[in-house]
Amino acid sequence: MGLSADVRATFTADGAESFVVDAAIEVDRGESLVVLGPSGSGKSLLLETIAGFHDHGGSVTLDGTAIHDRSPEDRGFGFVFQDYALFPHLTVAENAAYGTRYRDDVRDPEALLAELGVADLADRYPPTLSGGEKQRVALARALAVRPEVMLLDEPLAALDVPTRQALRDDLAAVLDDVTTVYVTHNRTTARAVGDRIAVMRDGEIVQSGTPEAVFDRPSCPMVAAFTGSNVVAAAALRDAVDLPADAETAAVRPEHVRIDGDGSLHGTVRRVVREDAAYRVLVDLDAAAPTVEMPTNALTDGGDARLSLFSDDPPATDDAVRLSISADRVSTYGVADK
């Protein structure tokens, strides 16, 4: 058993249209569920609603016991905020130990600070810390009270890339076997820390499953684009791949597109971008493709017939290339799949 939440909440700002969160999640004991989605999709509102910060309909249960009528402090959750929410007038050690004065079953705050690599900062105050240091202290404070569930709201979003990578690795270790709901818009983080991923759009969960299922078999064009797949008009691939007759849109991950002298797809290199371990190559296909409606929030980086791929030895811009794709790596969608 673990955490089960099926909540509905309506949020209205002055002069703005109401935003509705209507979502259900299940998290097994010791499992990490990542709620992934673009900005404005309702991820943080969902997390805050589960935590009890907002009035809501539906239910929240923990190990089969209903807790949705309880106050936030009585739900047994540890919450880590994006902006740290540390007490500036308390030292690092005092911040980490803050919640232990109200609980009997607690962890050693000093040991947690050591585990998170900030024990040497125990006598410092939050205004003197870096963003990564503040987030490590916030995490120690949340873990010190032995929460039943950890709720983390974009804890790495404000950090620089090296700090984010280091803390992401530490998070995966510290949260191992801790029941966790982790909100992020970063797909790399989602794959690194999630046992399962739930993709959110417009206040609803549109797909959930293992990282492999979500990234390799996206349920709709929006999920495909947001998780990094190429999303193109199906007609652009028909010369190379046998697709269903009713397919309107197709998706394929960049790692499954290959430069191949015998490939059936012809195109022209438009851009070559160096990334950490390889080059990303953007190729405009020669095949004419009808215009299709690309998914909301899609990161398509081009038109309806552009493919992105990775290469260790990339061609030059404006080179003509041939590409191949394995048919079993392509996901297809009809008119109704948005």
Rounded Cα gap, residues 80 and 140, in angstroms: 10
With respect to residue 70, please indicate whether it lies within any of the assigned structural domains: yes
In a domain, 338, yes or no: no
Q: Looking at residue 304, what is its pLDDT?
A: 63
**Contacts of residue 245, Cβ cutoff 8 Å, sequence gap at least 6:** none
Q: What is the pLDDT of residues 164-216, one digit of tens each?
A: 888 888 888 888 889 999 999 999 999 999 999 999 999 999 999 999 999 99
| 34 and 147 belong to one structural domain | yes
**pLDDT value at position 287?**
61
Neighbouring CB atoms inside 10 A of 243's CB total 16
Tell whether 186 is covered by a domain. Answer: yes
Alpha-carbon distance 293 to 296, whole Å?
Answer: 9
CATH number of the domain to which 43 belongs = 3.40.50.300
Query: 288 with 256, same domain?
Result: yes
Final residue belonging to a domain, choices 178, 200, 221: 221
Mapping DSSP to helix (H, G, I), strand (E, B) and coil, where does residue 279 land?
A: strand
What gap in Å lies between CA 332 and CA 100, rounded to an integer? 52
Which residue range forms the structural domain that includes residue 301?
A: 230-333
Say yes or no: 203 and 111 in one domain. Answer: yes
Number of domains in the chain: 2
Alpha helix segments (H runs only) across 219-327? 221-226
Task: Kindly state whether residues 193 and 282 are assigned to the same domain.
Answer: no
Same domain? 196 vs 141: yes
User: Quick check: pTM over 0.75?
Assistant: yes
Is residue 87 located within the same domain as residue 167? yes
211 vs 317: CA distance, rounded Å: 33
Q: Are residues 236 and 285 in the same domain?
A: yes
Burial of 74 (0-12, 13-18, 19+ CB in 10 A): exposed
Q: Which of 221, 239, 262 is the last residue of a domain?
A: 221
Query: Is residue 208 one of the residues assigned to a domain?
Result: yes
Q: Which of 221, 238, 256 is the last residue of a domain?
A: 221
User: Are residues 24 and 107 located together in one domain of the fold?
Assistant: yes
Domain match, 196 and 299 both: no
Note whether 199 and 280 are same-domain residues: no
Whether residues 35 and 116 share a domain: the answer is yes
**pLDDT value for 101:** 86
pLDDT at 84: 83
What confidence tens digit (pLDDT) does each residue in 34-47 have? 999 999 999 999 99
Alpha helix segments (H runs only) across 209-298? 211-216, 221-226
As a whole number of angstroms, the distance between CA 199 and CA 206 comes to 6
Same-domain pairing of 56 and 149: yes
Could you tell me which residues come within 8 angstroms of residue 293 by beta carbon, excluding any fewer than 6 positions away?
Answer: 338
- Residue 135, φ and ψ in degrees, nearest 5: -70, -35
Tell me which residues of the chain have a pLDDT lower than 50: 289-292, 294-303
| DSSP H or E stretch at residue 3 | strand 2-11
Distances (CA, A) of 269 to 16, 24, 233, 262: 44, 43, 19, 17
Whether residue 50 is contained in a domain is answered as yes
